[in-house]
């Protein structure tokens, strides 16, 4: 009993194991490609003809390789297939090939069938592995081309094809792979110019097995059509033996979306095989030969004209747009459609890419892009990205894509509907060569936005204006902008200017169509703001900013003169017209002087004045009330700076003061454009700024941060203008196009925080006063006051009509007073914000001045005001900025850059005032700034005369006494520490 339960183990026979060969097989399945290639090389080197391997050894290796193709390891099929293909070529190709009864080609095909047979497989996965192994094995035999030898029996070819076709029919999920290896075989036959009978057999096999009218069959058929020798095609499969015949469009569409007639039972000679039930997220390989054939026809329209092959546009409309992107199509088919679209965008010739933006596709693209929860959102994003990518390298494609996405098949507000920046990036990131067509296209959309409603038309026109602005932004950010791009910038800005400043009329007979519907005032104002935005970007990042701005303004003037685009939106009186005409004449003179001048320093001044003149003229067209008077003032600057050959000091000083006032009026505006202009022009004329000019800047810093301070600074702002138009500065959207500096946000934070503290008590008092007036009018009391007061009167007593009217009047007066209080409060807030902004701009100009003219003695006049601002202001941002300007000034005044003194007494007085300022309590950085200012004045006095050290020591000694004896003195110890440190370092130089 025991013996039956535990039988005796059979003795293991000794086996000779080739360890090296085992290692080679193991490496063939390695995931690293270089290891697999080395293993294949080592295996092949063991079976070269000079080694004279036996048939038995070769057969063993073949069996092992075919069996290895059935491995489930990821890289095994790749490694074993490579080795098998090369081994078959090495063994069965050439005059010395093996062709014995023990080892020959038929035997090899037999080994393939036996080693990859799925019979007796333990699991479904193992069965799948064997099917894949058979596929890879057949592919290896085909790639080795051992069957294409003239002395090899044709039956071997037919046998292998039969094996592949059977696999394709039995396993639909392998049909595409089976078709692909046959397709590659046809191409290899054509390349090697082998006997066409091999292709004939493939065509027969397709028809016999019902695979002709499948995606795989189409691809193979098209490859056969490319063979150099005529192929014998099976009749009555395709019209004129061409799957792409114009009469096969409907059938082609059904096949490519794998939608055959479910009731069809055709499986005969010309029938179709059952479709694959497995959806593949990858695009079918059949699209490559189909599209290649269509591309070829589009490039050479004369070719195959008699064959009546379907055109690309007809194919795309029927197969892709109607087939894959139909409203009833599944998400999977639309996914394929997006893949086809990206393939054509990436590879298609320029002759056909414009025709792929068809109605159904663009609708699907918009739908899928508009929400990140859409099923195909990510593939739609990739499709949109492919459009942008091609646009970067293909200028002509940009306009085609714009017409497709924004034309009749798309949406003019494509970016807004899809919540993307597809159009903006396509225009902004593309090459400049495509702008010659893009700008006119956008202009045509502005003229005819495609809607009749004025509000909707205005919204679309604003979107197109923003796109034009993005073009300017893109061009100005390029590292180097050649002259031809300057003309492009000008062209874009003139399109904006045309619609911003002129009202077209039919009576003028302009060459372009009239805008329909007509422009509204708000839309034109938006366009004017976009012109300002473009100028802002040009001034910020363009080397020829003044030239471009001048050309644009002159072009606007020419439009105004010839009336080509209609009537000017503003009515100019005769005096204003004369001022503008005079300004244009001066602008021409400035340009003439710029061409003749060769001095770099003078050129900067000329360009700055040209820019200032250009912008001021444009402000007249914008309806700025102050711009006309500025032109008169600029005339003074031109005459004194450039007009006269030699101006006296007094005249230059007068012009300098006028220029500073003009720049301050620009700087006071809440616009980054005017801020940049004021800074650039001020930098060019900083060396000509006089003491009175500096005093204008200082006066701004000394003004109060409230309504009173604003009234003092802008007392003439309420004068009426001859130009009947609203100033567009309030609506300037420069900040939309160029990022504001951090200080803008910090300004508002400082204003808000300080206002919150100041207004809490005011709000409480105002509310209490309002409640009291309201209670008096109603004859009531607050619930928390005089609780017993109401007991003496009846709340139920009725009022007659007269009493009701009197009550209404009282309530109206109460609420009117409340509204006035609210408006006054708002006015105070705006005044505070304006003054803080104005002080920031003044500090910006002072910072420019100290960088340009720090060695000028008049610059010392800013020391004390800056120190006082640092201490007195409640806005920390202003205090820090003033301190930084002073620090920068002191830092620049070193060595030979220390201002030279002619009269010492004012400087001694300044030193005393600085020490007096240091005695006041202030922020921590105030004390450090006082110390730096004091040491700067000390350097100036010592540089003038060493003997001044004694008096300087007395000044510091007096301050030390105050520190020791006076309770009102708050000089910090560091003030004297800095003095001591400077004394130590300076003593070495002063000692003789």
**What's the DSSP call for residue 270?**
S
Q: Cα-atom radius of gyration of the chain, to the nearest Å? A: 44
- List pLDDT tens digits, range 126-178: 889 999 999 999 999 999 999 999 888 999 999 999 999 999 999 999 999 99
C-alpha dihedral sign at 567, 571, 574, 578: negative
- List pLDDT tens digits, range 791-816: 444 444 466 666 666 666 766 776 66
**Residues 450 and 468 sit within 8 Å (Cβ to Cβ):** no
State both tokens at 410.
């798309």
Task: Look at residue 671 and give its three-state secondary structure.
Answer: coil
- List pLDDT tens digits, range 892-904: 998 888 999 989 9
DSSP alpha helices (H): ranges in 322-372?
331-347, 350-353, 359-369
- For the residues of 276-302, what is the DSSP string, one character each? P-S--SSPPTTHHHHHHHHHHHHH-TT
Q: Which of 267-276, 285-294, 541-550, 563-572 has the highest mean pLDDT?
A: 285-294
**Cα-Cα end-to-end distance for the chain:** 125
pLDDT band at 764 (very low <50, low <70, confident <90, very high): low
Output 777 or 922, whichever has higher pLDDT: 922
How many whole angstroms separate alpha carbon 93 and alpha carbon 87? 10
* Residue 112 pLDDT: 94
Q: Which distant-in-sequence residues (6+ apart) come within 8 Å of 883 by Cβ?
A: 866, 870, 925, 926, 929
pLDDT above 70 as % of the chain: 82
pLDDT over 90 at 529, yes or no: yes
State both tokens at 890.
């002191």
**Residues 205 and 178 sit within 8 Å (Cβ to Cβ):** no
Packed helices 483-501 and 545-562: angle between N→C axes, nearest 10 degrees: 40
**Residues 368 and 324 sit within 8 Å (Cβ to Cβ):** no
When pLDDT is averaged across residues 593-617 and rounded to a whole number, the result is 85
β-partners of residue 567 are 503
Kindly compute the dihedral angle of the four CA atoms of residues 19, 20, 24, 27, in this order, to the nearest 10 degrees.
70
pLDDT over 80 at 825, yes or no: no
* Residue 262 pLDDT: 35
Packed helices 331-347 and 359-369: angle between N→C axes, nearest 10 degrees: 110
pLDDT over 80 at 493, yes or no: yes
**Residues 612 and 680 sit within 8 Å (Cβ to Cβ):** no
Residue 490: closest CA among 533, 553, 444 = 553
When pLDDT is averaged across residues 22-31 and rounded to a whole number, the result is 91
pLDDT over 60 at 25, yes or no: yes
pLDDT above 90 as % of the chain: 54
SS (H, E, C) 799-815: CCHHHHHHHHHHHHHHH
When pLDDT is averaged across residues 430-450 and rounded to a whole number, the result is 88
pLDDT band at 571 (very low <50, low <70, confident <90, very high): confident
When pLDDT is averaged across residues 20-38 and rounded to a whole number, the result is 92
* Residue 484 pLDDT: 63
pLDDT over 60 at 345, yes or no: yes
- List pLDDT tens digits, range 241-293: 999 999 999 999 999 987 433 333 344 444 455 555 567 889 999 999 999 99
Residue 326: closest CA among 254, 240, 377 = 254
Distances (CA, A) of 955 to 893, 925, 939, 961: 22, 22, 14, 10
Q: Which distant-in-sequence residues (6+ apart) come within 8 Å of 376 by Cβ?
A: 331, 334, 335, 338, 364, 368
φ, ψ dihedrals at 309, nearest 5° = -70, 145
Task: Look at residue 834 and give its three-state secondary structure.
Answer: helix
DSSP alpha helices (H): ranges in 209-248?
215-225
**What's the DSSP call for residue 639?**
I
* Residue 799 pLDDT: 60
β-partners of residue 572 are none
- Omega of the bond prior to 517 within 30 degrees of 0, cis? yes
Element containing residue 503 per DSSP (H, E): strand 502-503
What are the boundaries of each domain within the chain? Answer: 17-152, 311-420, 431-559, 854-992
State the pTM of this model.
Answer: 0.77
State both tokens at 245.
């015949």
Strand 567-568 and strand 502-503: the pairing is antiparallel
State both tokens at 85.
């293909």
C-alpha dihedral sign at 176, 179, 185, 191: negative
* Residue 914 pLDDT: 95
The beta-strand segments (E) located in 505-647 are 567-568
How many whole angstroms separate alpha carbon 236 and alpha carbon 234? 7
- Burial of 602 per CB tally in 10 Å (0-12, 13-18, 19+): middle
Distances (CA, A) of 291 to 313, 383, 547, 937: 11, 18, 50, 81
How many whole angstroms separate alpha carbon 664 and alpha carbon 657? 11
When pLDDT is averaged across residues 377-402 and rounded to a whole number, the result is 94
* Residue 805 pLDDT: 66
**Residues 467 and 442 sit within 8 Å (Cβ to Cβ):** yes
Task: Look at residue 786 and give its three-state secondary structure.
Answer: coil
β-partners of residue 245 are 309
pLDDT band at 928 (very low <50, low <70, confident <90, very high): very high
What is the overall mean pLDDT for the chain? 84
- List pLDDT tens digits, range 171-221: 999 999 999 999 999 999 999 899 999 999 999 999 999 999 999 999 999
**What's the DSSP call for residue 349?**
-
β-partners of residue 628 are none
**Residues 251 and 219 sit within 8 Å (Cβ to Cβ):** no
pLDDT over 80 at 766, yes or no: no
* Residue 124 pLDDT: 84
* Residue 83 pLDDT: 94
pLDDT over 80 at 717, yes or no: no
Output 643 or 418, whichever has higher pLDDT: 418
φ, ψ dihedrals at 245, nearest 5° = -65, 150
How many whole angstroms separate alpha carbon 115 and alpha carbon 66? 6
Output 64 or 435, whichever has higher pLDDT: 64
Task: Look at residue 210 and give its three-state secondary structure.
Answer: coil
Task: Look at residue 502 and give its three-state secondary structure.
Answer: strand
Distances (CA, A) of 901 to 10, 229, 856: 117, 100, 10
pLDDT-wise least confident of 334-348, 437-451, 466-480: 466-480
**Residues 510 and 504 sit within 8 Å (Cβ to Cβ):** yes
**What's the DSSP call for residue 99?**
-
SS (H, E, C) 22-34: HHHHHHHCCCCHH
Element containing residue 537 per DSSP (H, E): helix 521-541
- List pLDDT tens digits, range 847-885: 999 999 999 999 999 999 999 999 999 889 999 999 999
Q: Which distant-in-sequence residues (6+ apart) come within 8 Å of 449 by Cβ?
A: 412, 456, 457, 460, 461, 464
Distances (CA, A) of 399 to 178, 344, 392, 402, 438: 42, 17, 12, 5, 5
When pLDDT is averaged across residues 768-780 and rounded to a whole number, the result is 57
């Amino acid at each position: 009993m025991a013996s039956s339960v535990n039988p005796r183990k059979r003795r293991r026979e000794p086996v000779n194991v080739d360890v090296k060969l085992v290692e080679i097989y193991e490496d063939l399945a390695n995931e690293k490609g270089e290891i697999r290639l080395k293993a294949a090389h080592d295996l092949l080197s063991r079976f070269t003809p000079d080694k004279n391997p036996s048939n038995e050894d070769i057969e063993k290796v073949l069996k092992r390789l075919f069996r290895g193709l059935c491995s489930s390891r990821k890289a095994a099929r790749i490694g074993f297939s490579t080795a098998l293909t090369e081994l078959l070529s090495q063994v069965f190709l050439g005059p010395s090939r093996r062709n014995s009864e023990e080892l020959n080609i038929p035997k090899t095909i037999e080994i393939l069938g036996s080693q990859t047979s799925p019979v007796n497989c333990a699991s479904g996965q193992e069965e799948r592995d064997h099917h894949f192994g058979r596929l890879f094995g057949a592919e290896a035999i085909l790639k080795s081309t051992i069957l294409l030898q003239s002395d090899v029996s044709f039956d071997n070819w037919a046998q292998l094809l039969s094996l592949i076709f059977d696999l394709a029919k039995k396993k639909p999920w392998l049909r595409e792979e089976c078709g692909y290896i046959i397709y590659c075989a046809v191409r290899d036959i054509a390349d090697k110019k082998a006997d066409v009978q091999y292709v004939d057999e493939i065509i027969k096999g397709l028809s016999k097995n019902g695979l002709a009218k499948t995606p795989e069959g189409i691809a193979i058929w098209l490859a056969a059509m490319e063979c150099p020798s005529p192929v014998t095609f099976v009749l009555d499969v395709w019209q004129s033996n061409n799957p792409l015949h114009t009469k096969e469009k409907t059938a082609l569409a059904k096949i490519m979306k794998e939608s055959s007639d479910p009731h069809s039972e055709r499986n005969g000679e010309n029938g179709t095989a059952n479709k694959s039930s497995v959806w593949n997220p990858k695009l079918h390989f059949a699209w490559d030969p189909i599209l290649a054939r269509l591309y070829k026809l589009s490039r050479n329209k004369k070719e195959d004209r008699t064959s009546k092959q379907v055109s690309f546009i007809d194919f795309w409309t029927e197969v892709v747009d109607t087939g894959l992107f139909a409203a009833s199509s599944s998400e999977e088919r639309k996914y394929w459609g997006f893949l086809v679209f990206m393939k054509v965008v990436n590879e298609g010739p320029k002759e056909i890419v414009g025709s792929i933006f068809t109605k159904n596709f663009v609708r699907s693209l918009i739908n899928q892009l508009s929400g990140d929860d859409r099923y195909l959102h990510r593939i739609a994003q990739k499709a949109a990205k492919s459009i942008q990518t091609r646009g970067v390298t293909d200028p002509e494609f940009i306009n085609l894509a714009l017409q497709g996405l924004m034309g009749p098949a798309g949406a003019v507000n494509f970016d807004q509907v899809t919540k993307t920046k597809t159009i903006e990036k396509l225009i902004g990131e593309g090459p400049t060569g495509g702008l010659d067509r893009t700008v006119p296209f956008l202009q045509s959309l502005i003229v005819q936005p495609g809607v009749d409603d004025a509000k909707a038309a205005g919204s679309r026109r604003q979107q197109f204006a923003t796109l034009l602005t993005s073009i300017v932004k893109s061009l100005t950010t390029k590292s180097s902008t050649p002259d031809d791009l300057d003309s492009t910038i000008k062209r874009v800005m003139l399109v904006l200017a045309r619609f911003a400043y002129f009202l077209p009329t039919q009576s003028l007979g302009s060459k372009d169509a009239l805008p329909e519907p007509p422009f509204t005032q708000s839309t034109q104002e938006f366009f004017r703001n976009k012109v300002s935005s473009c100028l802002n970007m040009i001034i910020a990042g363009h080397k020829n900013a003044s030239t471009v701005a001048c050309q644009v303004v002159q072009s606007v003037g020419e439009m105004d003169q010839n009336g080509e685009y209609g009537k000017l939106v503003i009515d100019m009186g005769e005096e204003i017209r004369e001022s503008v005409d005079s300004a244009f004449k001066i602008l021409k003179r400035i340009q003439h002087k710029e061409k003749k001048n060769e001095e770099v320093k003078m050129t900067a001044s000329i360009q700055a004045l040209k820019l200032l003149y250009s912008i001021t003229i444009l402000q007249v067209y914008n309806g700025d009330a102050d711009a006309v008077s500025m032109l008169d003032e600029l005339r003074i600057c031109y005459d004194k700076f450039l007009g006269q050959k030699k101006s006296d000091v007094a005249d230059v000083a007068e012009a300098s003061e006028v220029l500073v006032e003009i720049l301050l009026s620009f700087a006071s505006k809440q616009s980054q454009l005017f801020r940049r202009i004021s800074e650039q022009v001020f930098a060019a004329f900083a060396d000509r700024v006089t003491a009175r000019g500096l005093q204008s800047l200082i006066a701004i810093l000394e003004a109060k941060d409230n309504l009173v301070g604003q009234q003092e600074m802008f007392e003439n702002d309420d004068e009426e203008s001859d130009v009947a138009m609203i100033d567009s500065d309030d609506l300037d959207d420069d900040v939309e196009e160029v990022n504001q500096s951090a200080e803008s946000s910090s300004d508002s934070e400082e204003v808000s925080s300080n206002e919150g503290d100041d207004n809490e008590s005011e709000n409480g008092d105002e509310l209490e006063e309002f409640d009291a007036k309201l209670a008096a009018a109603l004859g009531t009391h607050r619930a928390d006051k005089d609780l017993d007061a109401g007991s003496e009167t009846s709340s139920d007593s009725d009022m007659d009509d007269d009493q009701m009217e009197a009550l209404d009047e009282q309530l109206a007066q109460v609420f009117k007073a409340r509204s006035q209080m609210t408006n006054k409060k708002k006015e105070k807030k705006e005044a505070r914000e304006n003054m803080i902004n104005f002080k920031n701009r003044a500090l910006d100009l002072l910072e420019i001045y100290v960088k340009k003219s720090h060695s000028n003695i008049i610059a010392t006049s800013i020391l004390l005001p800056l120190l006082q601002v640092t201490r007195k202001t409640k806005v920390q941002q202003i205090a820090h900025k003033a301190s930084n300007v002073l620090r920068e000034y002191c830092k620049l005044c070193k060595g030979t850059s220390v201002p030279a003194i002619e009269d010492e007494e004012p400087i001694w007085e300044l030193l005393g005032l600085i020490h007096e300022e240091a005695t006041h309590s202030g922020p921590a950085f105030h004390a450090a700034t006082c110390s730096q200012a004091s040491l700067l004045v000390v350097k100036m006095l010592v540089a003038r005369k060493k003997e001044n050290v004694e008096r300087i020591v007395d000044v510091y000694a007096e301050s030390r006494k105050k520190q020791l004896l006076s309770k009102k003195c708050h000089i910090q110890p560091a003030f004297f520490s800095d003095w001591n440190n400077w004394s130590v370092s300076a003593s070495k130089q002063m000692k003789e």
